[in-house]
Amino acid sequence: MIARNTAFTYKGKPIDAKQIGRELNVRYVLEGSVRRTGDQVRVNAQLIDTESGAHLWADRFDTERANLPEAQNEITSRLARIVDLELVKDVSRRIEQEKAINPDARDLVMRGWAWRNRPASKETRLEALRAFEHALELDARSVDARVGIASVLVNMLGNGMSTSPERDEKRADQLLDEALDSDPSRQTAHTVRGQLRRLQNRVPEARLELEAAIALNPNNVPAHEQLGWTLMHLGEPAGAITQAEMAIRLSPRDPNLWGDYALLGWAHLLAGHVDQSIEWLVKARAGNSRIWYVHYALAGALGLKGDIEGAKASLADLQKVNPEINSIANAYVYAPFLAYPCTVH
């Protein structure tokens, strides 16, 4: 990261990204421009690889001039999240090309997060886990590897992908304790611990962890998502909807956007907004049909709507994804947090 004053020396000058890379010894450049047309303001941004000159990502943000101060914060937050995702993906790709034979621990952590950021499936999660485990083998002190492993284990627990839930839960807890003992301000560790506490039905504790993560980084999209789920289980669907909408604004092209749609579907269902619930759950299913609890919630919403055949079809889809969930009792085994007592208020 180069200081703003240094970056501004290039403002308005016809210098290409390759030259900037050579002069400042940086691998990536975030380039942007602002165009005003009447009361409308358009911000264009693009991420460039300074070695090849390739455009890795580009996007635009539109707002009204009167809303510019508020929009500036939102644009900055979205850029931070998007650039983080794109850099992790690109660095991981380079590691696979350049260091496939002898990667170091930091390379493997980056590769692990690249796999972890992909749409949720057992295959992507196991690839991420292998990379993080290898990183910890190479560097037994690595906090990043510990948090990465815990993140994958907790995600697999939450999505019903774990084959040894008790073992994975215990190991994730231990790794997070070690990570936070080493670095109490590690926001990702607080985020993962918050998700774990929710899965353990320790929902008030989950809220504290996730609020701590957001205090450390207000742009922490996973923390907003997990706080949304936590608020829903605390009987606060309106708060859950707010958190899901915040996550979508911060990362509208997130590869796991289906998770925010699922949260909105569940929260609207809890709030009694059946039509909106069905709309969001159908979007979540389209985004990732491998997640059993999306089919589970959609079956309930369709049943409340009176679409019994649609509800039966959703239950059949659930059975295809996870045949072991053949009753509400078994659903609670896979997701004990569903049984958390909550009163909507």
Q: What is the pLDDT of residues 270-293, one digit of tens each?
A: 999 999 999 999 999 999 999 999
Give 281-337 pLDDT, tens digit per residue: 999 999 999 999 999 999 999 999 999 999 999 999 999 998 988 888 877 777 766
Cα separation of 64 and 41, whole Å?
A: 6
Cα within 13 Å of Cα(170), Cβ side: 4
Instruction: Answer yes or no: is pLDDT of 265 > 90.
Output: yes
Tell me how far apart the alpha carbons of residues 235 and 286 are, in angstroms, rounded to a whole number. 27
CA angle 23, 24, 29 (to 5 degrees): 110
SS3 at position 185? coil
Closest of 263, 273, 270, 313 to residue 293, by C-alpha: 263
Quote the pLDDT of residue 30.
73
Strand-pair partners of 42: 35, 62
Burial classification of residue 211, based on how many CB atoms lie within 10 Å of its CB (0-12 exposed, 13-18 middle, 19 or more buried): middle
The SS3 of residue 103 is coil
Give backbone dihedrals phi and psi of 67, rounded to 5 degrees, phi first: -95, 10
Q: Using CA atoms, how far apart are residues 261 and 254, in angstroms rounded to an integer?
A: 12
Q: Which residues pair with 57 in a beta bridge?
A: 47
Distance CA 183, CA 177 (A): 10
pLDDT at 101 over 50: no
pLDDT at residue number 35: 78
pLDDT per residue over 36-83, tens digit each?
Answer: 777 777 777 777 777 767 666 677 777 777 776 666 666 676 666 666
Q: pTM for this one?
A: 0.75
Q: How far apart are CA 81 and CA 247, in angstroms?
A: 10
What rounded mean pLDDT belongs to the chain?
84
